Amino acid sequence: MGICVFGAIEWQLQKNRCEREGKPRTASELQSRIYCSLPLRIISRCWGWLAACYLPPSLRPYVYGWYSNTFDVNLSEAMYPEYEHYNSLAEFFTRPLKEGVRVIDQQAPLVSPADGKVLHFGSASDSLIEQVKGVSYSIEDFLGPLETVEQANSGASYAQALKKKSDGSTELYQCVIYLAPGDYHRFHSPTAWKPTIRRHFSGELLSVSPKVAGWLPGLFCLNERVLYMGQWKHGFFSYTAVGATNVGSVEIYMDADLKTNRWTGFNVGKHPPSTYEYDELVLNKELTEAPKEFGKGDLVGQFNMGSTIVLLFEAPKNFKFDIIAGQKIRVGESLGHIVGSK
């Protein structure tokens, strides 16, 4: 009872502080620590195990039907629209689509990598950028250190040092897309690009729902994520799959060695002291191997539940987004265009 009373008082005090300062109602440092101390990784691993369990054919129409109705699943687009085809919930979550139901916009320089909701988009030229309106995160904490000593010693801000072009003709942009539980869970390449580094931050497995993203500053820097950095025709490009509560794992098809949502024991409330703790893999360094690169619309990987894709990229200053915050978007639809280009 005492803990509940204390929690209610803390919640009200933080609400009053935010109102006095004219800021969005976000979590206090104490609330953030309490939330991060919940056994969400253990819960997520248990859910992943349960979702992978074999489901008898007689139960599939009831379980999958309930899930479809609850989360508004459009099974008519699936390659296999019959419930009986899927041996487990995990297979149902990651169902492939029929050929041709997602058309890739060949005219757009950048297309949506996933079905989902646009949480936020815009400039990423400052050290703090928005994850949703009014709630920010650090671009340096999110990506980790700069790739080269030359970048670090350039004297430019972190965001500016990321850029491949130094003639002032380009800008950094970001786009955040949230995949709900009922969405198509596979994700694709939004453009033609070549990754050079993969970083895996073990992090937390906090919820990335729009409500939590609007409540917890720095959420994307706290969570487990798989980040690929490289280059596209306009300069720097990064593609990040962010883990979340109940995401059994994040799978990248070209990266068989990647293992997410690892068992770390019952270390509830114990977290890495720095967001810079990560595993790094240099890609395309062996001349004897086929280069790892993506074409626009290529299949990249899958979430074993809903989660989030974050794009951070360099583009000409006359790049304009074709989207609005909160809208639903599908794989292959245009994210933006370059004004004046054909």
Catalytic residues, by residue number, are 115, 188, 307
Structure tokens at 145: 């250190």
Give the three-class secondary structure for 36: helix
Structure tokens at 339: 């004004």
User: Scanning the structure block, which residue is given the tokens 């497995």?
Assistant: 205
Q: What residues contact residue 18 under an 8 Å CB cut-off, 6+ apart?
A: 24, 25, 26
Between helix 2-21 and helix 29-36 the angle, nearest 10°, is 130
* Of 171, 113, 120, 46, residue with least CA distance to 296: 113
Which ranges of the chain would DSSP assign to H, the alpha helix? 2-21, 29-36, 40-51, 60-71, 89-93, 139-143, 149-152, 158-162, 210-213, 219-222
Residues 175, 91: Cα–Cα separation, whole Å = 28
Q: What residues contact residue 168 under an 8 Å CB cut-off, 6+ apart?
A: none
**E strand intervals along the chain:** 110-111, 116-123, 128-132, 135-138, 170-178, 186-188, 193-201, 225-232, 235-242, 250-252, 278-282, 299-303, 308-316, 319-321, 328-329, 334-338
